[in-house]
Structure 1
Amino acid sequence: MYITVVILPLIGSLISGFGGRLLGYYGASVFATSCVGVSFFLSLLIFYEVGFCNSVCYISLSPWISTGTLVVNWGFLFDAVTSVMLIVVTSISTLVHMYSISYMANDPHCPRFMSYLEIFTFFMLVLVTADNTLQMFLGWEGVGLASYLLINFWFTRLAANQSAIKALVVNRIGDFGLSIGIFTLFYIFNSVDYLTIFSLTPFFQNYYLSFLGIDINTLTFIGILLFIGAVGKSAQLGLHTWLPDAMEGPTPVSALIHAATMVTAGVFLIIRFSPLVEYSSTILGILIVFGSLTTFFAAITGTFQNDLKRVIAYSTCSQLGYMIFACGLSCYNVSIFHLTNHAFFKALLFLSAGSIIHALSDEQDMRRMGSLSQFLPVTYSLMLIGSLALAGFPFLAGFYSKDFILELSQITTNSNLNSSIAALSCWLGSLSVLFTAFYSFRLIYLAFLNNSNSSKKILTGVHESNLLMLIPLIILAIGSIFIGYLTKDFFIGFGTSFWNSSIFILPYNANFIEAEFLEVQIKWLPFLLSAFGVILATIINLSRFYILINWNFHSFFAFLVSKKWFWDPIYNRFFIYPILTFGYNTTLKNLDRGFIELAGPYGTMNFIPIWANLIKKLQTGQITHYIFFMVLGLCSFFILFYLIENLQFSIFLYFVLLFFI
């Protein structure tokens, strides 16, 4: 059962991809959906056995790498964190597969699309079930590859090409940091297994690395490298630029990759390494600062976006900031609780946006919508539920996790953290609630409630989605309403033993006790800010109150934010263009076509005309000739080594034969 849940998506990907021509559109779609659906059913059984029955499962299949002290096995670790992530990944993936059957019905390459979705699910399952860092990194890189394929699915579109390359290149930065972190882990602990690393971590609290005369705490250095990997994959401030542009892929891709699974890989990495991260107060401070800044930046940027999917994409970036923020507060169980809740209502928002785009003939600009509540009543109701959950409306999924993070931010348990930084981060997180509610209901007004700005031709063709697309939306809406209430007690309830030793939890849940005794006005603050954001969006959209705003400042600020704070132009001007110029003028002209070619084919060979003519004749350009020379050289080396071992040739004769061969 445990291995089957990982292997089934791979089988579905291979058969639906290579056998799509034989199975046909519906055959490949139904088979792929069935495979991931069975994985979801098995994930429920694993969740019951591991989570509720406290029966952690550790499986070691076979050796993978064995050289010196580096011994890596194909192993799988199924603990509480893994069981929760299995539920999140397989449930959202199953619903997205079901949704895609109808959404991609008119696409001639639907089997290929289903294969890509399946291979993405497989690599994500490898990532969350690995018991060592190398196997986790295999899933990490596989997820990046699958995201490139999915974003670039419509490869004839230039924007899709550029977005896929951008996502791949930006993630290379984070992946490089993570790979260096894995090397450092092996250098320090002589192992890449999670259990070995976490059990030895307390003994390295005062262990330092010396680099260029600077002593660096080992755990802090490793934590920074792991955080760099999380920044790239989870789109934190600085490496966030790929996430909004990745909306160029089909909408089911956005729901699967950029709402529920891939972007949460970085958060999962921090949660998984919580027994190591917790020993460095510096890393906790960095997590708090970056998480709060990302939350505020993405929330205020999403307020001024007009593309339907980009607004939801920036809200994803903002919610990821809350998860990193919670990790910095040493509340890793609250972080994964918000991760679980966020997966359902964010997938609901993306798939509902896909339903709108599908009905409006691929129109994504909210300024060209309006009055859709009369044409798409079911989609409007579902989108409203998702928006309320995102805004933290009481008793919906987002309320239980996001508001609790803000309450915990009022408490500073880390004595080494500057109180002013903690206070600033707390207020940034609280202000983000206002902007989140504002852009959520701005989307509702522009798309559904305001007067229509669409043409008559488009409005006459607007229709509600079919049942195959609405069923996943209804299931996600039910999850967005009840998942927070149903899982709160055994995820973050006081005294719960659900997590056991899978993640680090402060003794006696000290943070939770203090959060319960906060002043009432502080507990009401997130709701009041959220309500104010809704009221502000209502006033601006239903009246002319916005005329009273100071337009000199407002227009400049709106222009700055609508251009995403000029992150892309700054990167292009100060990093990308200088690197490209250096690569062309220095490495290509001076090294590749200069020194190397003059020292090689255009230089040295001119002094040996006989050998030059012979080599030129051997370069026929036919692969059969090259294979013949390779086999001939290999046989010659085998003969040479045989002669050396059996006839005891002298060293001089060895080099003579080697030269002529």
Structure 2
Amino acid sequence: MQTSILIIVFAPLLAAIIAGLGNRKLGNMPAKVITTGGLFLSCALSWPIFLQFLGGDVAATVVPVLKWVQSGTMSFDWVLRVDTLTAIMLVVITSVSALVHLYSWGYMSDDPDQPRFFAYLSLFTFAMLMLVTANNLVQMFFGWEGVGLASYLLIGFWFQRPSAGAAAIKAFVVNRVGDLGFMLGIFGTFLVFQTTSIPEILEAAPAMAGSTITFMGARWDTMTILCLLLFIGAMGKSAQLGLHTWLPDAMEGPTPVSALIHAATMVTAGVFMVCRLSPMFEAAPAALTVVTVVGAATCFFAATIGTTQWDIKRVIAYSTCSQLGYMFFAAGVGAYGAAMFHLFTHAFFKALLFLGAGSVIHAMHHEQDMRYYGGLRKHIPITFWAMMAGTLAITGLGVYHLGAGFAGFWSKDAILEAAYASGTSAGNAAFWLGTTAALLTSFYSWRLMFLTFWGRPRWIESEHIQHTVHKTPEQAGADTTGGYHPHESPWVMLTPLVVLSVGAVLAGQMFHTQFIDTEAFWNGAIAYNEHLIHAMHEVPTLVKYAAFIVMVLGFIGAWYAYIRKPSVPAAVAQQLGPIYRFVYRKWMFDELYNYVFVKPAFWLGRLFWKAGDEGTINRFGPDGAAWLVMRGSGLAARVQSGYLTSYALIMLLGLVAAITWVLF
């Protein structure tokens, strides 16, 4: 197993180096073959490891790589650790990344910078693998920052677009805010435990419950302050409320990037970190309450915005933000297995939805506004059925008493049951907010499907599409297609959709017992609350059916508004007025941050630039010295007349002055 682990982690890095350094000299096809082959190799080796852990009661494997740091009392090596938690993440990361690589063969076929793109994808995957195999906090932070760097490169891949550059910078800066908290958490953890080794920290964490530490001039509960600082890092990486604003803007990157970042990798890093350090959080009940509240608020907040957006990728992006909220409040109430189960199922159906959206965009000549779609199910049937599977999975179609359902049914229901069964006020609030978010999830998911695949074609209204057919609306006449003919994506793009559809349908059905009910499966990789698991099975029947009921209500609402009576959405938006505009403008977070942080930062920067740098430093420094030299040179030049009599006079005056000084 040790050799397999080394290959899984370092094959993407080697592929990224070859493709990145070779670039255009290497050529498009070799770069694609090397990077995609490396990912499929890692994927093929990851599944047997996961299936081995699936049997239960398998000990963690530790693979030494090299000696790293020895400084005083602080020492740590570069070691790869694989336990049940890591095995799950290896499967998720390598499977989705391999399929995204393959999908990109078709989606990026016309891009002139394909070697660079595939090198970035593989580098991103390597950084994520480093994060999840970390045996100490510093190694985890190395992967954490590597993921941030690679996401910056991928979001801003089309750097010729100002919007892509701005989105990349925004993602980088917002994540650095969260990373400051993560760094402080790591520093504090080392201060308290005198080690960065994760197993040693988790073993010692329960004994620190109730102790206090001085932080910012006050005494705090030690584990609470450490966990809150670490959670701030998770909030940034996983786009939780307050540090979420980078996520929708990241849609400026190519669609395969959106699938990779938002489905199974970067945004789930925060959830993974909280679950990995769950024994620490178990020793800090106040921190768990904060995690629950933030997760539940994010879940509801993002779902409301998803109901108003028109860009197909932004709808799915806010859906990701909402689903991450589910994972966090599951962890907050102590159901870490349910949180990881939703991470696992979400990877399949969210990657499927993003790649399906990319297939739609590809068919509609890069048009992303759903108002200009309609009637596409007959033109791109494979994409339609794949997105139908993803929609049924995310909305949670399933029947509890029949024991059958799509992936999201099993994981989302487990989270809602855990929140209700926790018996805390925060858990109760999370249950109701999560149930409301499930209603909104069903509504905006079916809204997306109805606007895209049903109704009359509205393609004639799109400038993107009309540029391809070179027809004006008058020339097109009554035909609302405008003479455009959508086309199904090539098989290199459709194959990943088919594979992910299988996961969206079966992942929950096949693995829910191990993730939720089997303590031996986890074998100490997370804090397992057997009392909570038992209470989940005893919740009222209405709680078990809550997600199904609201899913049906959301479907009916979307059908009525976008199929039965399409005039309803505009009327509702007009009736709600400022409330609709507030939600449509994403609860005004961007405007608030622009007013509170961005404008003052730019004002301060201009002050330092104009008054400080140019007005003071340059004026009295380099510019002042240059002025003095220039003026002195001018005076000296006037003295250099070239006449011998003038030089003799100056020498005589100098001699007189010297004699005078000596005499007096």
Identity in percent? 44
Aligned to 2:231: 227
1:126 aligns with 2:126: no
Aligned to 1:503: 526
Change in Cα spacing, 1:375 to 1:162, as seen in structure 2 (3 Å) is: same
1:401 aligns with 2:411: yes
Aligned to 2:207: 203
1:312-333 CA distance string (max 9 Å, x none) = 0000000000000100010111
The separation in 1 between residues aligned to 2:80 and 2:620, in whole angstroms, is 51
Q: Which moved further from structure 2: 72-81 or 207-216? A: 207-216
Aligned with residue 138 of structure 1, among 139, 142, 148: 142
SS at match of 1:58: strand
SS at match of 1:179: helix
TM-score by length of 1: 0.88
SS at match of 1:64: strand
Aligned to 2:12: 9
The separation in 2 between residues aligned to 1:67 and 1:13, in whole angstroms, is 32
SS at match of 1:334: helix
**Structure 1 residues 530-609: aligned runs within 5 Å:** 530-544=551-565, 546=568, 553-585=575-607, 587-593=608-614, 596=617, 601=622
How many angstroms does 1:422 deviate by?
3.5
Aligned to 1:482: 506
**Structure 1 residues 142-541: aligned runs within 5 Å:** 142-211=146-215, 213-394=217-398, 395-413=405-423, 417=424, 419=425, 421-455=426-460, 457=469, 460-493=484-517, 495-506=518-529, 509-541=530-562
How many angstroms does 1:553 deviate by?
4.2
Structure 2: runs of 5+ lacking an equivalent:
399-404, 461-465, 470-481, 634-664
How many angstroms does 1:46 deviate by?
2.2
Aligned to 1:619: none
Task: Give, as a single letter, the amino acid of the residue that structure 1 aligns with 2:448.
Answer: L
TM-score by length of 2: 0.87
Task: Give, as a single letter, the amino acid of the residue that structure 1 aligns with 2:556.
Answer: I
The separation in 1 between residues aligned to 2:569 and 2:108, in whole angstroms, is 43
The separation in 2 between residues aligned to 1:532 and 1:294, in whole angstroms, is 22
How many angstroms does 1:606 deviate by?
9.9
Aligned to 2:656: none
Task: Give, as a single letter, the amino acid of the residue that structure 2 aligns with 1:480.
Answer: A
SS at match of 1:504: coil
Contact 2:241 2:294 in 1 (8 A): yes
Q: Which moved further from structure 2: 19-28 or 497-506? A: 19-28
Q: Which moved further from structure 2: 48-57 or 185-194? A: 48-57
How many angstroms does 1:130 deviate by?
0.8
Change in Cα spacing, 1:207 to 1:459, as seen in structure 2 (3 Å) is: farther
SS at match of 1:3: helix
Aligned to 1:638: none
Task: Give, as a single letter, the amino acid of the residue that structure 1 aligns with 2:586.
Answer: K
Contact 2:233 2:270 in 1 (8 A): yes
Structure 1: runs of 5+ lacking an equivalent:
614-661
How many angstroms does 1:542 deviate by?
2.2
Task: Give, as a single letter, the amino acid of the residue that structure 2 aligns with 1:569.
Answer: E
SS at match of 2:111: coil
Count of residue correspondences: 602
Change in Cα spacing, 1:582 to 1:153, as seen in structure 2 (3 Å) is: same
How many angstroms does 1:602 deviate by?
6.1
Contact 2:310 2:370 in 1 (8 A): yes
SS at match of 2:521: coil
1:256-283 CA distance string (max 9 Å, x none) = 1111100000111111110101111111
Change in Cα spacing, 1:373 to 1:552, as seen in structure 2 (3 Å) is: closer
Contact 1:49 1:55 in 2 (8 A): no
1:551-577 CA distance string (max 9 Å, x none) = 654232221111111110110011110
Contact 2:210 2:221 in 1 (8 A): yes
Contact 2:59 2:523 in 1 (8 A): no
- Larger-Rg structure: 2
SS at match of 1:27: helix
The separation in 1 between residues aligned to 2:242 and 2:378, in whole angstroms, is 41
Task: Give, as a single letter, the amino acid of the residue that structure 2 aligns with 1:436.
Answer: T
Aligned to 2:40: 37
How many angstroms does 1:595 deviate by?
5.5
1:14-67 CA distance string (max 9 Å, x none) = 112222434422221111111010001111232234453603111222221111
Change in Cα spacing, 1:550 to 1:477, as seen in structure 2 (3 Å) is: closer
Contact 1:489 1:496 in 2 (8 A): no
Contact 2:178 2:233 in 1 (8 A): yes
How many angstroms does 1:522 deviate by?
2.0
Change in Cα spacing, 1:102 to 1:560, as seen in structure 2 (3 Å) is: same
Contact 1:6 1:122 in 2 (8 A): yes
Q: Which moved further from structure 2: 549-558 or 282-291? A: 549-558
